Amino acid sequence: MTWQLVITWNEGESSSPAVDVAPNQGWRVADRFGEYVLVRDGDIIPARGETVVTNDAYVLLDLFVTSGGNPVVEMSLPSGMSAALALKANEAL
C-alpha cells in the first residue's frame, strides 16, 4: 500500500509534486524561491509508526494525503505547525 502527500497554497491554485511517504518518516516544507516542496528531514523523529510533516515555511498550506491515487484526508497546516499521521494498512485499496 502506497501513501502520497501533496501540499497546496494560494488557496489551492499552487501545489507541490506528490511524494511517497511511509511510517517512521519526518518531512519538512521547504521554500524553493516561492515554491514549496516536501523534503525528508532526518532530524524529525516521529512517534513509532507515525509520519510527521512540519510546516517551516511562512505560508498557510493545505496538506492532502492520498493512497493509491485515492484521496484520504485533507487538513489545514498553518506555519509553525506539524501534522502527525498514523497511516493504517488497508490492503483493500
Binding site for other proteins (CB under 8 A): 45-47, 50, 52, 54-56, 58-60, 65, 67, 72-73, 75-88, 90, 93
Nearer to other proteins, 33 or 70 (CB): 70
10 or 32: CB nearest other proteins: 10
**Contact present, 79 and 60 (Cβ < 8 Å):** yes
The DSSP symbol for 58 reads: S
Q: Which is nearer to other proteins, 15 or 67 (CB)?
A: 67
- The CB-of-26 to other proteins minimum distance in angstroms stands at 10
Q: Whose CA is closest to 87, among 25, 15, 7, 19?
A: 25
Residue 37 Cβ vs other proteins, minimum distance, rounded to whole Å: 18
Strands 19-21 and 14-15: unpaired
Q: For the CB of residue 55, give the shortest distance to other proteins in the complex, in Å.
A: 8
The residues, ordered by sequence, that sit 6+ positions from 40 with a Cβ below 8 Å of its Cβ are 25, 26, 27, 28
